[in-house]
Chain A
Amino acid sequence: KQEVTQIPAALSVPEGENLVLNCSFTDSAIYNLQWFRQDPGKGLTSLLLIQSSQREQTSGRLNASLDKSSGRSTLYIAASQPGDSATYLCAVRRGAQKLVFGQGTRLTINP
């Protein structure tokens, strides 16, 4: 059974710092991995999707990497801003259609 873990559960950093969020999964047979952002009380916004054959994806200040063999992904956020404060979730695609989610890292950027 695929399990996805995100550590730490919460992270607080000063504005301007670069930071890394971690995601690990137990079964390396994945189709892809997706990073989402969730603001309090809201739905999920897709940030980046990495196919199983890819090593990384970039969008603006965000860079996501994937190491399938070790079952790990990281989300790097450069020059953090208070508007980046949110919960970040990773999810791996298993089987034909299903995503398995981690429990998220709650990120706070302090001005």
Chain B
Amino acid sequence: DVKVTQSSRYLVKRTGEKVFLECVQDMDHENMFWYRQDPGLGLRLIYFSYDVKMKEKGDIPEGYSVSREKKERFSLILESASTNQTSMYLCASSLPGQGTSYEQYFGPGTRLTVT
């Protein structure tokens, strides 16, 4: 079974802090994704990575950066956390390309509260 793990289930940080959210997958997937999920807005893509050191902006990248130094690990960084970044953050991974192999597998989520 594909396993995607996230470093924390719950996190509370103060405004202005630098925050790291980490995601690890064990299936050698090329693609990794970070989403945030908010009531009434659904899931929105923040960034994704299609290979080590490669990244592409999603729909809402402002205020975030990412790092992918190893294939299995994808980090989301909030350079200076703000209260409007309070949300549920979900990481996902998948194989590349088309075909039935392209399912996205999700981690359990990190609920981040910025006070």
Contacts and interface: CB of A to CB of B under 8 A. Distances in A.
Interface string A83-102: 00000010101001111011
A73 B48 CA distance: 26
Interface in A16-54: 31-32, 34, 36, 41-46, 49, 51
Contacts, number: 56
Given A44-B90, A98-B58, A103-B42, A93 B106 contact: no
B101 to A, nearest CB: 9
A46 B106 CA distance: 8
Q: Is the interface of A mostly helix, strand, loop or mixed?
A: strand
A51 B100 contact: yes
Interface residues of A, number: 23
B100 A44 contact: no
Contacts of A46: 103-106
Given A97-B31, A101-B42, A43 B102 contact: no
11 contacts: A31-B102, A41-B109, A43-B4, A43-B90, A43-B109, A89-B43, A97-B33, A97-B56, A99-B45, A103-B42, A104-B42
